[in-house]
Amino acid sequence: MSGRLFVIGLGPAGDAMMTPEAAHALAQARDLLGYAPYLARIPENPGQTRHPSDNRVERGRAEQALALAAAGRDVALVSGGDAGVFGMAATVFEAIEAGDPAWRGLDVTVIPGITAMLAASARLGAPLGHDFCAISLSDNLKPWTMIEKRLRFAAEAGFVIALYNPISRARPWQLGRAFALLGAHLPAETPVAFARAIGRKDEAIAISPLASADPVHADMATLVIIGTAASRLIARPGARPWFYTPRFAS
């Protein structure tokens, strides 16, 4: 098969947070597929065909990309952030495993990107300086009971927690429930950061203690980082404090 499929992480914002490898792969592709707002981040190129789709059709999008590549096209399937972190890469391999056996012979390359928790951590200081984990609060693909179990175990084990997909119009209650659950295992003063739209014009950051963390600060463009008992805030005159977790934390 002569076609290729690039599974690309665009980073959290514009060109400044896109890797050169991702930009190079995008330039080679003739067909671009992705969630419509992510495709809108990519400058128009008259030599390319765009195939935008809705956020809830990931499997169909992956199958379409594979079919185009199998037909000899050079295809880019894009995700925000990193394609391997709650992105399209896993969906592509799910489709390959269950789909046309010929797809296993395709040239598929996953291009890494800057995921939201890394961009947010850099803005905040170094909250991920010690052991950490990433958990999606979306229960579209897994039960809420499993999410609660993972939150509880992560807090008990002393991991800094990065929460993806923290809240939506269909899930307005889950972030508050997560804070309440974590509050049973972490000190009230544990720092919580709300990092919204990092690298974009509407970027916003708020930090509060876990005991008073308010879900109103979050939406689907927000990455929430919950520290540990060892995490620290360094006060700065006239500026937001630095948030970091020491590397010697227990």
Domain locations in the chain as residue ranges: 4-114, 117-244
**Which amino acid would we find at residue 112?**
P
Residue 1 pLDDT: 57
* pLDDT, mean of residues 204-231: 96
> Which of 13-17, 88-92, 133-137 shows the lowest per-residue confidence on average (mean pLDDT)?
13-17
pTM given for the model: 0.93
CATH of domain 4-114: 3.40.1010.10
* pLDDT, mean of residues 80-105: 96
CATH topology of domain 117-244: 3.30.950
Residue 200: count of CB within 10 angstroms of its CB: 14
Residue tagged 């008073």 (tokens): 212
Residue 166 pLDDT: 96
Q: Environment class of residue 240 by beta-carbon count within 10 Å: exposed (0-12), middle (13-18) or buried (19+)?
A: middle
Residue 169 pLDDT: 86
Q: What is the DSSP code (8-state) at residue 41?
A: T
Q: For Cα atoms 179, 11, 5, give the angle at the middle one, nearest 5 degrees.
A: 120
Rg (CA), the chain: 19
Residue 236 pLDDT: 96
pLDDT band at 163 (very low <50, low <70, confident <90, very high): very high
pLDDT band at 248 (very low <50, low <70, confident <90, very high): confident
Q: Which secondary structure element, helix H or strand E, spans residue 134, and what is its range?
A: strand 132-136
- State yes or no: pLDDT of 190 exceeds 70: yes
- State yes or no: pLDDT of 45 exceeds 60: yes
